[in-house]
Amino acid sequence: MAQATRLMSQSAAERAHNAQVVREAGNRWICLLMGLPYREEMQVYDTMKAIYYQAYREARKEYTGAVKQTTGNFDAKA
């Protein structure tokens, strides 16, 4: 009962703000439950993806350089 009285005594701006908070939290949970990326998760995902691909490219360059050094002038077509 006290909570209902407290909620009713809030100003319209407070109620609108609370409704926005609840709506945003609901959207976030829906995205998480459905496996859809949410704003913050999408930013983190994009950053992790960029770091991964950068590390992959660097490792690939090192690998191809090492393979070229070990094979020398070997002609694989012959």
Which of residues 76 and 41 earns the better pLDDT score?
Answer: 41
Q: 53 phi and psi, to 5 degrees? A: -65, -35
pLDDT digits (tens, 9 = 90+) for 56-75: 999 998 888 776 776 666 66
Answer whether 0.95 is exceeded by the pTM. no
- Answer yes or no: is 31 within a domain: yes
Range of the domain at 20: 9-71
Q: Which structure tokens are listed for 28?
A: 């976030």
- Answer yes or no: is 45 within a domain: yes
- Answer yes or no: is 77 within a domain: no
For the chain, how many structural domains are there in total? 1
Q: Which structure tokens are listed for 56?
A: 């992959």
In the chain the first and final C-alpha atoms are separated, in Å, by: 89
pLDDT of residue 45: 81
- Answer yes or no: is 60 within a domain: yes
- Answer yes or no: is 3 within a domain: no
